[in-house]
Amino acid sequence: MNPLLRRPAHEILPMLSRGELSCRELMEISLDWMSQTEVRIHSFLTQDGERALAKASALDQRRAKGEMPGPLFGLPVAVKDNLATKGLRTTCGSRILEDFVPPYSATVIERLEQGGAVLLGKTNCDEFAMGSSTENSAFFPTRNPWDLERVPGGSSGGSAAAVASGQAFLSLGTDTGGSVRQPASFCGLCGFKPTYGRVSRYGLIAFASSLDQVGTFARNVRDCALLLEVIAGYDPLDSTSLNEPVPPYSRELENNPGSLRIGFAGDWLAMGLTPEVERTFHRALDTLRGLGFAIESISLPHSHYALPTYYLIAPAEASANLARFDGIRYGLRVPGESLKDLYQATRGQGFGAEVKRRIMLGTYALSAGYRDAFYLKAQQVRTLIRRDFEQAFGVVDLIAVPTTPSTAFRLGEKVNDPLAMYMADLFTIPISLAGLPSLSLPMGIEGGLPVGLQLVGPTLAESRILQAAWRFQQATGLHDLVPPPAGALRA
């Protein structure tokens, strides 16, 4: 691997802006490394090397004229394949959209391009973002660069693997119940799910509209802050977008957050946590204490109901959102003798098993006679979960919790056990239900695999989270860890 690909994005960007490194040269290096590693990792569903090289050359020409097009000038980035990209295939990891090419781009894609980033391609994901391992992709599973026999997490596993392997400097994923934070933990990255509404959802192909949020992947906190700064902000095309100013996250990092009070819910540690992750988490709490933060015990009693609550609300919203894929207007169309036959054949062949499972569960939860007992009751519990967090943030500034109950599991280990797979998001789902910002960053290595620490804040507290995470990162140096030089990453 070319050593440039292991440099942080914030170190590469000045080299590009000063002309010490051309955008075209960096793109050629990135594409060459992709060609060596992609056959083993399978991060991408669609590569866009030809257009990426043309864009890189155009950026070099603009720089030669004295222009400086954006804070991500010339940086190779990857994006999850459920974000619409004009003129570039967008599949959501599903056969039903296998050949779909959108006529427009998502707002976050436009902001990336306006910021000078160059898209390498679209990354693999669990079908319609429904999964925790990227094994539910209709095309192929993605492998974890730390251990090719393990999953990278999901549903944004391709985006995480692309950054962890050095194929991309930054990437975008989406997080509904943990789909950015969990892969970040499994792949040793920083993964940020911002406050619901902080980043536009326009052009994100919806799974569960009240939960979906675009998030960021990077190797360190500063790069994560830089990317979030570019994509965040109000969008009139998204009715859920928050009309609030975007702080200069990357420039505020080194501001002293003060003597923060950090809470941890001891009862969460009894929720299926492995001894290795629990041990690493307590070491992380000791580090936070050593940084001058006060660690206080809090209670989040209704979090125990988060998993069943999520798996009523999210599938109910999915059953409505995915009704548009009917073989009539776009996507796969399987002919039938009647309209009913066409619907059945198209959706039967186009959707995978996990998507069908969630559509049926959601349809049942919304059906006559059951809506009040299931869907409305789940919404009431969601309110209780949100109130728990509101009360906790009345006494603490941030909450620390492990990102995942375990390190990355083996490919195939949970694919036939949906409940065991769902449990991988045990510590991320409550935060999603509350719509709060949360960052996962490395807190240690166990058995040769990364373990993630999750820092959670109140609404729009992204700056506070990033500042605390940056201090933790500086104290531990864990952001410098990279996958071992074996398997897919052999130079």
Catalytic pick among 22, 43, 165, 179: 179
Distance CA 324, CA 330 (A): 9
Catalytic pick among 22, 133, 137, 155: 155
* Structure-block tokens of residue 214: 């675009």
The answer to whether 179 is a known catalytic residue is: yes
Distance CA 299, CA 378 (A): 20
Residue from 467, 465, 476, 450 nearest 164 by CA: 450
Distance CA 249, CA 136 (A): 34
Q: Which residues does residue 173 pair with via DSSP β-bridges, in sequence order?
A: 215
* Structure-block tokens of residue 213: 């949020």
Torsion sign across C-alpha atoms 85, 87, 93, 95: positive
Neighbours of 246 (CB within 10 A): 16
Distance CA 328, CA 269 (A): 48
Catalytic pick among 55, 80, 122, 414: 80
Distance CA 172, CA 76 (A): 12
Contact 19, 74 (CB under 8 A): no
Distance CA 255, CA 271 (A): 35
Distance CA 444, CA 242 (A): 35
CA distances from 26 to 42, 68, 83, 109, 248 (A): 21, 17, 25, 21, 27
The answer to whether 463 is a known catalytic residue is: no
Amino acid identity for residue 364 in this structure? Y
Contact 74, 56 (CB under 8 A): yes
Q: Both ends of the chain: CA-CA distance in Å?
A: 5
Contact 226, 219 (CB under 8 A): no
The answer to whether 356 is a known catalytic residue is: no
Amino acid identity for residue 232 in this structure? A
Residues marked as catalytic: 80, 155, 179
